[in-house]
Structure 1
Amino acid sequence: MSREWMILVAVWVTAFSLFFFIPRKAFRLAQLAILFKQLITWIIGLVVVELGLIEYPVREFASENRSSFTFEYLVYPIVCGLFNARYPENRSLGFKLLYYCSYCSVITVIELLIEINTDLIRYLHWNWYWTWITLFATFLMSRKFCKWYFSISKIASD
């Protein structure tokens, strides 16, 4: 097994282990965030690959799709579920901004290390800051969607 495939297996194990860090009372919120993030990252990932901005030389389902199933459909959504489940709702705006920035920065640094050291991701016409910006935007979109959805479901159940 090549180094890239071992990394993919380790990423799958790590991603699924993140479920243990989601508080039980916030599990429905995390599920919704995961599903929403899957929708938007799958679409964005496909567009980015088709425009030739990023390439995934080693990937699952290589004959079906040029995007990375692991990153676009598993890792980013599960991290987003954790992000939303542990969101510091009652903290200051500055703390919330730091929360967003820390998640985006950690994921971006990990992706950049993977891009530099493996054949899992190759930036063609892409830079790390585009990753950071798209992560920030999709985390913000998922947070707004979850707040909207649960405010609607609360009204409907009253």
Structure 2
Amino acid sequence: MRELIVLVLIWAAAILLLVFKVPREKRRDANIVFLFSQSLAWLYVYIQTFTGNMEFPFREFHESTKMSFSLYYIFYPAISVFFILYYPKKGFLKKCVYFGMYAYGIQGFAYLLAQYTELITYNNYSLLMQFFINCGILIIVRGFYYWFQKGFVK
């Protein structure tokens, strides 16, 4: 029952934040970042479940997939949207701290889910490796968004 409550809260938080906190002029950008983050999340979680590093004992679609739908297709892409929206314009140190905060925030949230629910089970968990993977995913999202924006700059 705890898992279901957490999933409902994740859905509500993600939808409410995306609807009310994304400015109108940035909605198109938020959509493309959200969709791109979903594809990255799918690839990441597929590799992790295929190699046995991660399991999802409680899943929404138990018969059709071994992956968690809500976490990797709704919540983490929503985090990527806010990562891009509030990305600092200047300051190398500020950008590094920003990347670190988001990478550790994602990691901390996933760790709490693994400890207190059955949404995630880590079989081979390395704190440092997970941090670098989260940073890598955020760098790829940021790179894609930068590339996407260059086509619209006149």
Above 0.5 in TM-score? Answer: yes
Q: Distance in 1 between matches of 2:58 and 2:11?
A: 15
Amino acid at match of 1:92: G
Are positions 1:24 and 2:13 aligned together? Answer: no
Amino acid at match of 2:22: I
Alignment partner, residue 139 of structure 2: 140
Amino acid at match of 1:40: L
Where does the alignment leave 5 or more consecutive residues of structure 2 unmatched? none
TM alignment of 1:36-115, pairs within 5 A: 36-89=36-89, 91-115=90-114
Q: Distance in 2 between matches of 1:16 and 1:51?
A: 31
Q: Sort the Cα spacing of 1:121 and 1:48 in 2 relative to 1 into closer, same or farther, 3 A.
A: same
Structure 1, residues 88-119: CA drift from partner, whole Å, max 9, x if none?
12x20100111111111112111111111111
TM-score when normalising by structure 1: 0.90
Q: Distance in 1 between matches of 2:123 and 2:148?
A: 37
% identical aligned pairs: 27
Give the CA deviation at 1:123: 0.5
Contact 1:23 1:86 survives alignment (8 Å)? no
Q: Distance in 1 between matches of 2:137 and 2:121?
A: 21
Give the CA deviation at 1:127: 2.8
Paired positions, count: 153
Give the CA deviation at 1:72: 1.0
Q: Distance in 2 between matches of 1:139 and 1:133?
A: 10
Q: Distance in 1 between matches of 2:142 and 2:60?
A: 29
Query: How well do the aligned residues superpose, as a CA RMSD in angstroms?
Result: 1.3
Contact 1:57 1:121 survives alignment (8 Å)? yes
Contact 1:18 1:82 survives alignment (8 Å)? no
Are positions 1:131 and 2:130 aligned together? Answer: yes
Give the CA deviation at 1:26: 2.1
Alignment partner, residue 3 of structure 2: 4
Amino acid at match of 1:112: Y
Q: Distance in 1 between matches of 2:135 and 2:69?
A: 20
